[in-house]
Amino acid sequence: MNNFFEKSDISRSEAENIVSDTLSKCDDGELYLENTKSETLLLDDNKIKNSSYNSDLGFGFRAISDEIVAYSHSNEISKNSLRQSSENLKSTLKSVKGTYNHEIPKSNKKYYDNINPIEQKSLNEKIKILNEVNNYLRSKDNNIKQVTANFLGEQKSVEIIRSGGESLTDVRPLIRFNVSVMLEKNGRKESGVYGVGGRQSYDFYLKDENWKSVCDEALRIASVNLESKPAPAGEMKVVLGPGWPAILIHEAVGHGLEGDFNRKKTSAFHNLMGQKVASEGVTIVDDGTIDNRRGSLTIDDEGTPTEKTVLIENGILKNFMQDRLNARLMKTRSTGSGRRENYRHIVLPRMRNTMMLSGNQTQDEMIKAVDKGIFAVSFGGGQVDITSGKFVFNCTEAYEIVNGKIGSPIKGATLIGDGPSSLKEVSMVGNDMMMDPGIGTCGKAGQGVPVGVAQPSILINKMTVGGTKL
Amino acid sequence: MVKDQEFLEKKASYCLGLAKKLGATESSVIVNNSVSETVNFRNKKLDESNRSDDLGISITTYIGKKKSSISSSNLLDDNLNILIEKCVEATKNTPEDEFNSLPDKDLLAKEVKDLSLYDDTHIENDQKIDYLKKLELAASNDKKIVNTESSFTQNKSNFILANTEGFCAGYKTSSFTASSVIVAKDEKSMERDYEYSSKCFFKDLDDAGELGKQAADQTIRKLSPKKIGSEKIAIIFDKRIAKGILSTFASAISSSAISRGTSFLKDKVNQKIFSDSINVLDKPDIIKGLGSRNFDKEGVKTDTLKLVEQGVLKHYLIDTYNGKKLNLKSNGRLGGTSNLYFENGNISFKDLLNSKSKSLYITETIGHGSNIVTGDYSVGATGFLVENGEFKYPINEITIAGNFKDMFQHITLANDLEFKYATNSPTMMIEGMVVAGK
């Protein structure tokens, strides 16, 4: 574990005293310390383009009274810096008084090992694999004009010091391996992207030449797109494949069920608790406790152990995702969903691994049930306007469905829908739930955090597909 | 207060010296410090205060044609010693790349012009609170407004860029930013919109009352939207969306996308890619400009470029590495454009609205639907149906799609350019795009 005070002019007990003194008349707050080591290795255009290493150290000091949050952060863990932050917080909260809530749940469970993935593999070994990736792909297909492959590795150590000196710690490994290829054939260019990752060592993903399957998938997507024709425009039936297409759930309902938007009543879901928001058979959970997953956390960034939170059960809205602030103001408990990108940012309620659970139909049955529609298999990303409830997601591999059969591939297009109503249009839920490959990052209020999604195949009766073919 | 030049220079020269001692043949370093203070209001009450003090250093070391880099927020010499050693070690182990090098010495900026980018004024939190009170009061006039969230940020930054060719320069910049996000509700719908103002100098910032009123008006007019059918229709992009199309153009002409062959605008220099009347400029020396600068992230002098003249593409945005690959000289665009804009067209906003009997006016797009490899574009959109020059009703849950290659050839610009962001466009109409709705 990191000793944040080792090279500092302030001792741990002095820091604890400043924390306790600053927070004594507040409802909540903590000193959050963070040390992140990360590396990027990039192969592009046949060369190692970038090898870089980052070391980021800092603290964020937070005090909360009633609804008011005061925050101050700095890179310098020093007496002077902590005192200045303390003065800042006190000055913001000078007119409000609170009572500090010392309660924070405890758990001994851990969902990943205390490892530093960066140090587990030498730079030369990593460079060797990237070169193998490049050679492997370029020898597979003559139409390949560009290959980009990268490794991202990180170890984040955090410590949370609460009023009274209580300390909570976590060490979080995270890695990602991405491959992107561009093909050119008869003057037409298309690309394909795939990647894997999670909270464990590089070797887990790379052993036995596992990286080849990542390359194959990126190449397959690009090859499909090379044959694609313009996507249709308008409302139609949509079958989504299992796994990564669960970005739909993340955008359509996930963000709208985050505590802050519902406390402020700015979410399209704020008055729908206990009501039907999805078809029968649709159950959605947000789970931070799956071993080694990208979105998993042993404790959240306020120190609360994470959990598996049921959001929607058999179509009925059951829970929002909460951090401590919004939970207190909404008179409920934190679901361990308080997260921040790093010490520069305040805590917000965020998703972890958001998953729709399996039903009992098959993908075949869904395809057969569609006269005219599309079958979407892989996606690039999405976005939502939580107030109007409108959300989009961009498909990167899709096919037309004609009379119950999968037809030609179609160009990437944006799909748009309405969060509170689109899950009521789900008419079949598959028996093939799958996790995503572990490369998702969710953005909110300028903060990116690693997340996961999962779902089985589903059939949606009506969605608008944003193609160009009328 | 933000760290002074002397402190940053001392750190920079320490790093260059140490890298050399440890075996680097060349190196460059950027040291920066940024101090930000934000106050947020919600529903006319204080909601959040946030102070940030960010230090950062990034070092790139070369050994011949080998290169590696490190960055850190911990500027203590102990930590820098470990990191620079690690960086030089990684450099030795990284394969050579013939195009790796510092910029050509004769392209480096020789002087640093004062472009009035720093305002010494310090706005205390109490003054920020006054501004926000006034803003939110003006924003909350209508009963349909159910939530207001507003923010005021003062930022002061300073940096030094130094390299072993003797370049060492940097300067302070400041920004004052106010924004307001409004939620309005009626029986049928709940909608959100925003307004924003950012300036180098505090005294140039928009009036708080005006900003609040505008944010509220823009939100209320979106209430009770309808969904329309799928059709081919002229699209008019509000300035805040039109600038995004210009940004996509800029990424498609970046020398990295060109040299890697991953842009739909590769090999298009001296070809007509826009309609006849279109001119695009990137002008780095605008006084108080939000994108103004003297040199790019490598120290290369940044001159004004007329990127598009009468519809013809004239330049790529070139940095040293990709320039060498393309056999072109850097034009000081590592890190992108400076103040990028479309020159004004020759019809008024009103005439543009009137030019078609029916069109769609887009005020917001969502999703990341721009593909610079193929030029394909498909995004979710919100806006208004315009008939005979009048806004008829709000529209949502639609997508708009096309391909930039065609879209660029069918652009008409109004004459209402203003410099609100670093990248700016007048109101823009594009014909021939497809709307998907019902």
Q: What is the pLDDT of residue A208?
A: 74
Strands B423-424 and A47-65: unpaired
Q: List, in order, residues 6 or more apart from B412 with CB less than 8 Å away.
A: B275, B345, B347, B352, B355, B428, B429, B430, B431
Helix (H, G, I), strand (E, B) or coil at A160: strand
Residues B275, B351: one domain? yes
Residues B329, B372: one domain? yes
% of chain A surpassing 70 pLDDT:
100
Of A74, A266, A468, the CB nearest to B183: A266
Q: What is the pLDDT of residue A107?
A: 93
Q: What is the pLDDT of residue A321?
A: 98
Q: How many domains does chain B fold into?
A: 2
Q: What is the pLDDT of residue A414?
A: 94
Residue B58 domain-assigned (yes or no): yes
How far apart, in whole angstroms, are the C-alpha atoms of residue A166 and residue A265? Answer: 34
% of chain B surpassing 90 pLDDT:
98
**CB B382 to CB A388 under 8 A?**
yes
Q: What is the pLDDT of residue A49?
A: 87
How far apart, in whole angstroms, are the C-alpha atoms of residue A334 and residue A345? Answer: 19
How far apart, in whole angstroms, are the C-alpha atoms of residue B170 and residue A127? Answer: 35
Domain ends where: B192, B220, B248? B220
Alpha-carbon distance A83 to nearest alpha carbon in chain B (angstroms): 13
Distances (CA, A) of B362 to A175, A375, B249, B366, B421: 39, 29, 19, 11, 18
Q: What is the pLDDT of residue A50?
A: 82
User: Residue range A1-26: average pLDDT?
Assistant: 92
Residue B125 domain-assigned (yes or no): yes
How far apart, in whole angstroms, are the C-alpha atoms of residue B258 and residue A205? Answer: 32
CB contacts of B67 in chain A (<8 Å) are 51
Residue B214 domain-assigned (yes or no): yes
Q: List, in order, residues 6 or more apart from B200 with CB less than 8 Å away.
A: B116, B117, B118, B119, B173, B174, B175, B176, B288, B289, B290
Is residue B51 a contact partner of residue B37, using CB atoms and an 8 Å limit? yes
* Angle, helix A12-23 to helix A79-92, in steps of 10 degrees: 10
Q: In this structure, what CATH number is given to the domain that contains residue B147?
A: 3.30.2290.10
Residues B270, B409: one domain? yes
Q: For residue B390, give the amino acid letter.
A: E
Q: For residue B414, give the amino acid letter.
A: A
**CB A123 to CB B94 under 8 A?**
yes
For A405-431, the pLDDT digits (tens) are 999 999 988 999 999 899 999 999 999
Of A51, A234, A390, the CB nearest to B230: A234
For A287-308, the pLDDT digits (tens) are 999 999 999 999 999 999 999 9
Residues B160, B298: one domain? no
% of chain A surpassing 90 pLDDT:
93
Tell me, yes or no, if B92 comes closer than 8 A to chain A by beta carbon: no
Q: How many CB atoms lie within 10 A of CB B351?
A: 14
| Nearest in space to A58 (alpha carbons), one of B77, B54, B69, B80 | B54
**CB A58 to CB B183 under 8 A?**
no
Residues B215, B240: one domain? no
Strands B340-342 and B280-282: antiparallel
ipTM of model: 0.92
Mean pLDDT for chain B overall: 97
CB contacts of A233 in chain B (<8 Å) are 230, 399, 401, 434-436
Residues B180, B257: one domain? no
Residue B185 domain-assigned (yes or no): yes
| Nearest in space to A418 (alpha carbons), one of A241, A232, A243, A269 | A269
User: Residue range A375-394: average pLDDT?
Assistant: 93
Confidence of residue A2 (pLDDT cuts 50, 70, 90): confident
- Is residue A1 scored above 70 in pLDDT? no
Give the structural domain span for B27.
5-220
How far apart, in whole angstroms, are the C-alpha atoms of residue A130 and residue A218? Answer: 15
For B21-57, the pLDDT digits (tens) are 999 999 999 999 999 999 999 999 999 999 999 999 9
Domain ends where: B159, B186, B220? B220
The burial of B329, by beta-carbon neighbours within 10 Å (0-12 exposed, 13-18 middle, 19 or more buried), is given as middle
Question: How would you write chain B as a 3-class SS string?
Answer: CCCCHHHHHHHHHHHHHHHHHCCCCEEEEEEEEEEEEEEEEECCEEEEEEEEEEEEEEEEEEECCEEEEEEECCCCHHHHHHHHHHHHHHHHHCCCCCCCCCCCHHHECCCCCCCCCCCCCCCCHHHHHHHHHHHHHHHCCCCCEEEEEEEEEEEEEEEEEEECCCCEECCEEEEEEEEEEEEEECCCCEEEEEEEEEECCHHHCCCHHHHHHHHHHHHHCCCCCECCCCEEEEEEECHHHHHHHHHHHHHHCEHHHHHHCCCCCCCCCCCECCCCCCCEEECCCCCCCCCCCCECCCCEECCCEEEEECCEECCCECCHHHHHHHCCCCCCCCCCCCCEEECCCCECHHHHHHCCCEEEEEEEEECCCECCCCCEEEEEEEEEEEECCEEEEEEEEEEEEEEHHHHHHCEEEECCCCCCCCEECCCEEEEEEEEECC
Is residue A83 a contact partner of residue A18, using CB atoms and an 8 Å limit? yes
Residues B214, B315: one domain? no
Tell me, yes or no, if A229 comes closer than 8 A to chain B by beta carbon: no
Helix (H, G, I), strand (E, B) or coil at A4: coil
User: Residue range B428-435: average pLDDT?
Assistant: 97
Residue B226 domain-assigned (yes or no): no
* Interface residue of B55, B132, B366 to substitute, partner A, most A CBs within 10 Å: B366
Q: How many CB atoms lie within 10 A of CB A39?
A: 22
Task: Say how many CA atoms lie within 13 Å of A15 toward its Cβ.
Answer: 27
Of B68, B79, B260, the CB nearest to A51: B68
Q: Read off the pTM.
A: 0.95
**CB B373 to CB A74 under 8 A?**
no
Residue B287 domain-assigned (yes or no): yes
Residues B138, B241: one domain? no
Residues B344, B363: one domain? yes
* Interface residue of A387, A444, A447, A465 to substitute, partner B, most B CBs within 10 Å: A387
Question: How would you write A338-407 as a 3-class SS string?
Answer: EECCCCCCCCEECCCEEEECCCCECHHHHHHCCCEEEEEEEEEEEEECCCCCEEEEEEEEEEEEECCEEE
For A96-111, the pLDDT digits (tens) are 999 999 999 999 999 9
Q: What angle do CA B216, B219, B223 make, to 5 degrees?
A: 135
Confidence of residue B322 (pLDDT cuts 50, 70, 90): very high
CB contacts of A464 in chain B (<8 Å) are 397-399, 436-438
Residues B159, B263: one domain? no
Residue B179 domain-assigned (yes or no): yes
Residues B130, B93: one domain? yes
How far apart, in whole angstroms, are the C-alpha atoms of residue B435 and residue A235? Answer: 11
Tokens describing residue A149: 């492959």
Residues linked to residue A31 through DSSP beta bridges, in sequence order = A61, A161
| Nearest in space to A319 (alpha carbons), one of A378, A258, A379, A360 | A258
Residues B249, B306: one domain? yes
Of B70, B229, B373, the CB nearest to A54: B70
Residue B225 domain-assigned (yes or no): no
Is residue B234 a contact partner of residue B356, using CB atoms and an 8 Å limit? yes
Strands B358-366 and B231-237: parallel
Tokens describing residue A91: 């000055």
For B331-371, the pLDDT digits (tens) are 999 999 999 999 999 999 999 999 999 999 999 999 989 99
Tell me, yes or no, if A91 comes closer than 8 A to chain B by beta carbon: yes
Q: List, in order, residues 6 or more apart from A193 with CB less than 8 Å away.
A: A178, A179, A180, A218, A221, A380, A396
Is residue B282 a contact partner of residue B342, using CB atoms and an 8 Å limit? no
Domain ends where: B165, B200, B220? B220
- Is residue A79 scored above 90 in pLDDT? yes
Of A55, A390, A393, the CB nearest to B396: A390
